[in-house]
Every structure is written in C-alpha cells, then in structure tokens.
Amino acid sequence: MCVPIPGGLVKRTIARRTTSLRAASAALLLAVGLGGTHAGVATAASVADPPAASAGLLEAMRHDLGLTARQAEERLRAERHAAEVEADARRVAGGTYSGSWFEPSTGRLVVALTDRSEEPEVRALGADTRIVRHSAAALDRAKSRLDAVPAPAGVAGWHVDPKANSLVVTVVRADRAAPAVRAFVEQARRTGPVAVTETAAAPRTYAAGTVGGDPYYTGNVRCSIGFSVYGGFVTAGHCGRAGAAVRGWDGSAMGTFQGSSFPGDDYAYVGIHSGWWTVPVVLGWGTVSDRLVRGSAEAPVGASICRSGSTTHWHCGTVLAKNQTVNYSQGAVHQMTKTSVCAEGGDSGGAFISGDQAQGVTSGGWGNCSSGGETWFQPINEILRRYGLTLHTA
C-alpha cells in the first residue's frame, strides 16, 4: 500500500536544511580552507590531536552516559588512545590475541591473551591484560561454523565476546524455551564455548514506511544518509536495491543505488546526480553542533559512540560487541557492531560516529528512544572496501 508524502513536508524541511547546510559549509571552510583535497580512510594518526569536544557533544554524553563535562573529555581522550593501542596490541600478541575492550572504570584498553609470555610487551604499549583460554582465532572459527546454521526467529543473534572469552548467543526472552531455540543453542555449544544471554525483543530494521522528517526517500520508504563518500553516500542495504531511484530531503531526484546487499550484509552505496554535493558532516540536529568527519579509525568495545538519524536525531551510548551475526526476519546479517544506542523507524542508514571518526551505518535493533533498546551498525571500513569508495573527510 502506497503512502502519500504530505505536501507541506518539502517547505518545512527546506527552511531547516538550508540553515543546517549553511552552518555545515561554513564550518567545513573554516576547518579545511578552500584548497581541500581527496583524503582516504584515516589511520590512527588521524585521531592523535583532535579538536576540543563541543559543548553539545559533552551535553549529549552527560545525558546519555551520565558523565560530567570533565569526565566526558577525559573519556574521549582515553578512548582515542585505546584505539591507537588496539592495533599495536593485536600485532604484538599475534596468535595469542583473544580480543580487547575499553574499560571505562580505568580509562584503559584491556587485551585478552592466551599466553602470559606476551604480557610484558602488550603492557608496555599502555594496555592492561587478561589471561584467557581461547584465542580470538579459535572463537572466530566457532562463530563461522555457527553462521552456517539457519536460526529460528527466537534467536536474536550471536557474537564473540572477548570479556566472556566465548561465543555469546542471544535469545528472545519470550522464546527461550521454544524447542527450535533450544535446539539451536545446543548446536551452538557443539561449535565451541558458548554463553547464552536474553533480550527483550527480536531485532528489526529501522526503515520507515511513512514520511516524517529528514530525508532520503526511495519509493515510500524513508531512511537516513550515513556518510559522504566521493560521488555519493553510504547507507543501509535494506533501504533499497541496486538501480532504485533516490529522492532527497526536498523531494527532488537525488541519485541511484549503485550497489546494495541485504541480508548477509546491510550496506549500500548511492551515487548522486549533478546539482548535489557531498560534505564530511554528520548532523547534530541542534543537540550538538554538526560534526566534521576526519577519518574512520575503529573504536574499541566499551568506547562511547553516537548516532545521527532522521527520526530520533542524536543519541549516544557505548560499543557492546563486534562481529555479531544479527538474525532479522529477512535473514541473518554478519559482521555487525552492537551498541547501547537507541533508534527508531526511519533511522536506518544513519551515521554512527565516535568523536570525529566514522564508525558505520545504522542497520536495526530493538526498543525505542523512549524506553531504551540496542542498535546494530554495519562498519564503515567494510563498506568502503566493498565498493572501492573513499570517505569524504575534513
């Protein structure tokens, strides 16, 4: 059933977006000048000396994470350091590496190892260590075996948890005793070490069938732009198939889906028409100032992260897990990152960002921004590699 777009939407949106784009363009010119050049995916050096956090970002972290302004600033600095240490720790630990996570209580990265002999070198990098039984490689192999098993609807997903040093299977609380769910869990236990957790509701994608805010549109579906790349933008795959036409916030022709994958993955690339342009900006929706994107260094588990979407605008939380398989009703999606950030219909495709580093595009989750919930995103660097794209950075 088609749902007509309200006629007053375009006029209301134009006024708001014109102001926002002017502010974003002015911020970009001040930040990079008129002679900007194409920049690729950022390395860890991109986050070594970032600009000071805005008052709006600090307020969002106070509201969503319960931090004072000083605590938020200290945490952002610690998380940037942890992101730099993580890559070096993985290299140093080699086959003994078993994952890592940021520990907010200490402000340090914790690296799990299967061999104590690697502890001194890893600690010298500035990380804490924990000795565990199973390596990350062994747990990843167990997850790959489970990925090949069809899952019933009562199984929300599964991922490797470095803290638990096991494969975590999440089941919907109301379905935990269902025979199909119990059979899946038993099969999971045969692949490797498994822990079972419960969730309040099954995950769902966040595309919206009705129009209600900031844009883009394909057919009668509204989704959210993720990040600008040279030639267009990235977003969620479930929002449209390759070849589908896209209309922008003003209702005019904007571009076409050049590539899309869902399920299995949940990402897409939209090429834009002449008359549209890309800027390395994520909207703060008045909650925070619009955020310049300076790279895509991956934040560790435990780090703070924020999301921008066209329905619920700006919300923050923490990274809960990586490389999770999410079992939607349409099929399983792999290599997702789980967060404590809320989202709602229409937020699909929107940007997840940590500090000024792009993290990924919103896929789906459970709950809402009134009562809370969890949301998954598809990591940005995988999307860039898949389509050979270059992130537009400031």
Among residues 81, 159, 238, 315, the one annotated as catalytic is 238
Q: Quote the pLDDT of residue 110.
A: 98
Q: Quote the pLDDT of residue 46.
A: 32
Residues 190 and 150 in one domain: yes
- Looking at 156, 174, 202, the residue that finishes a domain is 202
Q: Quote the pLDDT of residue 41.
A: 29
Residues 216 and 362 in one domain: yes
Residues 150 and 255 in one domain: no
DSSP codes, 168-228: EEEEEGGGTT-HHHHHHHHHHHTTS-EEEEEESS--EE--BSS--SS--EETTEE----EE
Q: Quote the pLDDT of residue 208.
A: 42
Residues 328 and 221 in one domain: yes
Residue given tokens 């008045």 in the structure block = 286
272 part of a folded domain: yes
Residues 196 and 210 in one domain: no
Among residues 20, 228, 310, 348, the one annotated as catalytic is 348
106 part of a folded domain: no
Number of domains in the chain: 2
Residues 179 and 282 in one domain: no
CATH code, domain with 192: 3.30.300.50
Q: Measuring CA to CA, how many Å separate 277 from each of 90, 99, 381?
A: 38, 39, 22
- Cβ neighbours of residue 36 under 8 Å, at least 6 residues apart? 394
Among residues 266, 290, 347, 356, the one annotated as catalytic is 266
Q: Quote the pLDDT of residue 206.
A: 60
Contact 198, 172 (CB under 8 A): yes
**Which residues of the chain, if any, have pLDDT below 70?**
1-51, 206-214
Q: Quote the pLDDT of residue 214.
A: 56
- Looking at 202, 221, 239, the residue that finishes a domain is 202
Residues 237 and 189 in one domain: no
- Looking at 202, 224, 246, the residue that finishes a domain is 202
Residues 357 and 230 in one domain: yes
Q: Quote the pLDDT of residue 50.
A: 54
97 part of a folded domain: no
Q: Quote the pLDDT of residue 37.
A: 27
CATH code, domain with 310: 2.40.10.10
26 part of a folded domain: no
71 part of a folded domain: no
Residue type, 147: D
Q: What's the chain's average pLDDT?
A: 84
Domain of residue 188: give its range.
Answer: 136-202
Catalytic status, residue 266: yes
Residues 243 and 331 in one domain: yes
- Classify the phi-psi angles of 121: left when phi > 0, otherwise alpha if psi is within -120 to 50, otherwise beta: alpha
Residues 231 and 353 in one domain: yes
Residues 212 and 198 in one domain: no
85 part of a folded domain: no
